[in-house]
Amino acid sequence: MFLKFESEVGSLLQDAIKAAGYEVEMLCLETSDYADLASSVAFKLAPKYEKSPKRIAEDISRKIRIPKKTLIDRVEVKGPYINFYVNREFLNQTILQILKEGERYGSLPKKRQRIILEHTSANPTGPLHVGRGRNPIIGDTLVRMLRCAGYDVEVQYYVNDMGKQVAAIVWGYDNVERNALPKLERDKPDHDVVRYYRKATEIIAERPDVDSQIAQILSRYELGDSNTIERFKRVVNKCIDGQKRTLERLDIAFDRYVWESQFVMDGSVDKVLGKLKKTKYIKQEDGALVLDLTSFGVEKDFVLTRFDGTTLYTTRDIAYHLWKFDHADIVINVLGEDQKLSMEQLRCALKILGLRKEPKMIFYSFVSLPEGRMSTRKGVVVDLDDLLDEACERAYIEVQKRRPELSEKEKRRIAEIVGMGAVRFDIIKVAPEKMMTFKWEEALDFEKQGAPFIQYSHARACSILKKARKIGHGFDSSLLTAPEEVELIKKMALLPSIVDSAAQDLKPYVVATYARELAETFNQFYRAVPVLKAEEALRDARLSLVNCTRIVLANVLNLLGITAPESM
């Protein structure tokens, strides 16, 4: 409804500007504290027409004729600003729309554009850790938003199975005695794998000969030796299975796992190299093949192959990206900030190969420990599994405090919902490029206004509706005139435009901010206005409003990948 209001205001203002004898491209419309929509267009016109912004705003507003059938209530000029306000019809329509669309409310029309979004793509060397923990959460939230905004999205995890790291683990399985390994910390396959990885790196540091053994294993793999392939698959799958289990708790899943090796084995990496070799950008250096990208403003050469002709990670990534663009209109990657340079090089290589489109990148800063960066290899990590467990434990304590009468099973269920929600929200609410330092107390502080606050508001709405038992069908939404009621409706009307801008700008945290604001607005309403005790007609109208809020809160939480509990 807000999008419709915005377009009505847009054309009305456009016409008025013309009628007043001005010309301008940007209408400078924005939401503001002073109005439902405000335009600062008068400022833009002032220098050109050499009049004061205030006079221009007055000129324009005199030409504004609000049509009969509209969502606009009135227009006010405040100094240089032109302010627009919604009318009763807008509010009534919003309520009806939410009730009609239900869980679809907020979704935008299908766009018929296909997106491949890649996220997480962690090295298959061990369990996911908190350092890169933002990746799956940012990625998954984006996927949910983009789908809601009408895109057809496929989510992919790119499996880096061709690295030396994986070869080192394969070597470890053959050469390390089981009893030489540290105790298995958690009964999950990824935690088993990482023990071999760490032990193998330890041994490599002491015995230089092992390095060449690992190189041999890797080269047998590249050549397609079937026995070696089996062993790689076993190790990598073990690792991925473990990671999948972790992500399941956060309600994160992938549509497709794309193995890096497939592009080497099917010859597409060779094809890419062949094409690049024919371009003027290619150079040989000590047998290695490099791309000179200075003409693209990238100072660092892109190393495509080693001296022995074997390919490197980013080279294979070119083939993967060509494949992605064959299957999608838009390609989005969620990556750590350490990938910036190589992604810039990749972008150039794709251009050289004649590709018109380029992938969109979301870079996030690592979550570091107070003492420094996390590392799987060194074992300096906080495992995501541990964080999730701890979140759940702390949530359980809170549930126990508030709802001791519930069954143990129910308390555990709620604790899981609250714990996972808190983790997701805590990560998504911050812009990806901001640095985060991980501290247990802060990450798991439920006192802050986070996911539990929003979940609680939803549970409350459900509770009221449950107590009311039946909701009158023939309610009159015009009765909802208290300021808290009007604010709540206006807030809910914003959801589609929030989804639109979040998807447009790939900014998942705007949804998080909106969710918190909506919950807050509902709490204010709840505090100020009685529902169940109101007289009948008003009661029905307010119950419908509560029902709308329940729907919108649930939809927003779903967008964030957070469960909306009916009680907690």
Q: How far apart are CA 348 and CA 329, in angstroms?
A: 19
By CB under 7 A, residue 36 contacts RNA: no
Cβ nearer to RNA, comparing 18 with 78: 78
Q: How far apart are CA 433 and CA 436, in angstroms?
A: 9
By CB under 7 A, residue 61 contacts RNA: no
Apex 110 CA angle, 104 and 114, nearest 5 = 125
Q: How far apart are CA 493 and CA 541, in angstroms?
A: 17
DSSP character string of 154-169: EEEEEE-TTSHHHHHH
Kindly state the smallest distance separating residue 255's Cβ from RNA, in Å: 21
By CB under 7 A, residue 448 contacts RNA: yes
By CB under 7 A, residue 43 contacts RNA: yes
Q: In this structure, how many other beta carbons lie within 10 angstroms of the beta carbon of residue 295? A: 10
Give the x/- contact pattern for RNA in 367-396, rule: CB under 7 A.
-x----x---------------------x-
By CB under 7 A, residue 326 contacts RNA: no
Q: Per CB under 7 A, which region of 228-236, 310-318, 381-389, 472-480 contacts RNA?
A: 310-318
Binds RNA (CB under 7 A): choice among 240, 331, 444, 459: 459
What residues from 214 to 253 belong to the interface with RNA (CB under 7 A)?
A: none
Binds RNA (CB under 7 A): choice among 197, 366, 438, 475: 366
Q: How far apart are CA 240 and CA 407, in angstroms?
A: 35
Cβ nearer to RNA, comparing 97 with 361: 361
Q: What is the DSSP letter of 129?
A: B
Binds RNA (CB under 7 A): choice among 447, 469, 470, 473: 447
By CB under 7 A, residue 10 contacts RNA: no
CA distances from 74 to 81, 144, 240 (A): 14, 36, 58
Q: How far apart are CA 556 and CA 486, in angstroms?
A: 20
**Amino acid present at 497:** S
- Cβ neighbours of residue 306 closer than 8 Å, sequence gap 6 or more: 288, 312
Q: Determine how β-strand 81-86 pairs with β-strand 37-39.
A: antiparallel
By CB under 7 A, residue 198 contacts RNA: no
What residues from 259 to 278 belong to the interface with RNA (CB under 7 A)?
A: 260
What residues from 478 to 517 belong to the interface with RNA (CB under 7 A)?
A: 505, 507, 509-510, 513, 516
Cβ nearer to RNA, comparing 22 with 453: 453
By CB under 7 A, residue 540 contacts RNA: no
Cβ nearer to RNA, comparing 70 with 310: 310
By CB under 7 A, residue 299 contacts RNA: yes
Kindly state the smallest distance separating residue 523's Cβ from RNA, in Å: 4
Answer whether 290's CB lies under 8 Å from 304's CB: yes
Answer whether 210's CB lies under 8 Å from 204's CB: yes
By CB under 7 A, residue 32 contacts RNA: yes
By CB under 7 A, residue 313 contacts RNA: yes
CA distances from 389 to 82, 164, 188, 240, 379 (A): 53, 31, 14, 19, 19
By CB under 7 A, residue 537 contacts RNA: no
Cβ nearer to RNA, comparing 71 with 568: 568
By CB under 7 A, residue 339 contacts RNA: yes
Task: Report the candidate in 217, 123, 198, 211 with the shortest Cα–Cα distance to residue 161.
Answer: 123
What residues from 127 to 186 belong to the interface with RNA (CB under 7 A)?
A: 160, 162-165
Binds RNA (CB under 7 A): choice among 187, 206, 286, 535: 286
Copy the structure tokens of residue 246: 């972790």
By CB under 7 A, residue 406 contacts RNA: no
Task: Report the candidate in 475, 462, 461 with the shortest Cα–Cα distance to residue 538.
Answer: 475
